[in-house]
Amino acid sequence: MWFIYDSCGIGCCVGTYCIMTFVSSLVIKVAILPLGRENYISPSICIIIYMILLLLGGLSHFICMITDPGAMPRNTFHIAKDDINKPPPQVCLRCRCEKSHRVHHCSVCERCIDKMDHHCPWVNNCVGYYNQKHFVLFLFYIMVACLYSFIMLIIRVSYCASYKKAELCTRPREDTALDLLLGMAALFVGGVFFLFVTVMLYDQLSCIINNTSGIDLLKKTPIEKRSVRTNLEETFGGRFSIFWFLPTKVKRNLTRAVDMIEN
Ligand SMILES: [Zn+2]
Ligand SMILES: [Zn+2]
């Protein structure tokens, strides 16, 4: 199994799961559970939808962490004694492997990664060819879960804070001050998380659509122009289907394999 033993990355991952658990438990306690059964919205259905979103986000995160992002095999290139001072430009001396212009070396993973975008401590892994889909899905589901939390908090405030509709809430009115405090905490942490994942998601999608990556942009790597559909199909592993939205394995695209051999 692929796993990076990096203390900073492991700490960030544990932190991510703690934030998710903290915010979701507050939202359920403060916003969803107080909604009474006689309300228009059933709390059980609200919790099930919320759990599905969080489960898909958490699963995408976990699979992103344990998926080989596209590590090139090591020690596949041997330098002759005479050439030791002038290695060919498309070789990584640390991994001793040949690499195409889309392959970059990661100093945390200590490997050359195909189509490396960046090393993300929040998933304790590089984001590359085989796990960019999982990274995007993690950002997407967490963004939707944050939006859902905001909607639930607004519904809770609009139903339960109003004196006339207070009977629609199961929570006693004396507890609303505590609820307000906890709701504000959930709103603040969720808001910061929402901004973070939305910016990251926008950045990832613009890279995918333009067939580039964070490192390629920094290094000004010449990139082949392709259709948006081809770029999306390569990242999400095939033609548009339900599997684009599920954290399933990404298979190597045939045209990409040919491209790798030619480089
Ligand atoms: Zn390398
Ligand atoms: Zn890495």
The ligand that comes nearest to the alpha carbon of residue 106 is 2
Q: Is the pLDDT of residue 252 over 80?
A: no
Is 18 catalytic? The answer is: no
Tell me what pLDDT residue 248 has.
94
Q: What pLDDT does 263 receive?
A: 45
pLDDT for residue 258: 45
Confidence grade of residue 89 (pLDDT, cut at 50, 70, 90): low
Note the pLDDT of residue 241.
93
Please report which ligand is nearest the Cα atom of 95. Answer: 1
Domain total in the chain? 1
Instruction: Give the Å distance between the CA of 49 and the centre of ligand 1.
Output: 43
Measured in whole angstroms, how far is the alpha carbon of residue 24 from the centre of its chain?
A: 17
Tell me the residues surrounding ligand 1 (ion) with CB < 5 Å. 92, 94-95, 105, 112
Q: Who's near 112: CB < 8 A, 6+ residues apart?
A: 71, 72, 92, 95, 97, 99, 103, 104, 105, 106
Provide the residues around ligand 2 (an ion) whose CB is within 5 A: 106, 108-109, 119, 126
State the pLDDT at residue 222.
83
Which bound ligand lies closest to the C-alpha atom of 72? 1
**What is the distance in A from the centroid of ligand 1 to the CA of 159?**
57
* Tens-place pLDDT, residues 171-214: 666 666 777 788 888 888 889 989 999 999 999 999 999 999 98
Task: Please report whether residue 189 resides in a domain.
Answer: yes
Q: Which domain holds residue 155?
A: 7-262
- Band (pLDDT 50/70/90 cuts) for residue 134 is very high
pLDDT surpasses 90 at 130: yes
* DSSP helix/strand/coil, 119: strand
CA distance 125 to 13: 10
| C-alpha 66 – ligand 2 centre gap (Å) | 12
Which one is catalytic: 120, 126, 160, 169?
120
DSSP 126: E
- Residue 2 forms part of a structural domain: no
Strands (DSSP E) contained in 5-164 are: 91-92, 97-98, 103-106, 111-114, 118-120, 125-127
CB of 133 closer than 8 Å to CB of 237 = yes
Q: How far is the CA of 8 from the centre of ligand 1 (A)?
A: 21
The three-state secondary structure class of 111 is strand
Domain-located, residue 79: yes
Query: How far is the C-alpha of 59 from the C-alpha of 100, rounded, in Å?
Result: 31
Residue 167 lies in a domain: yes
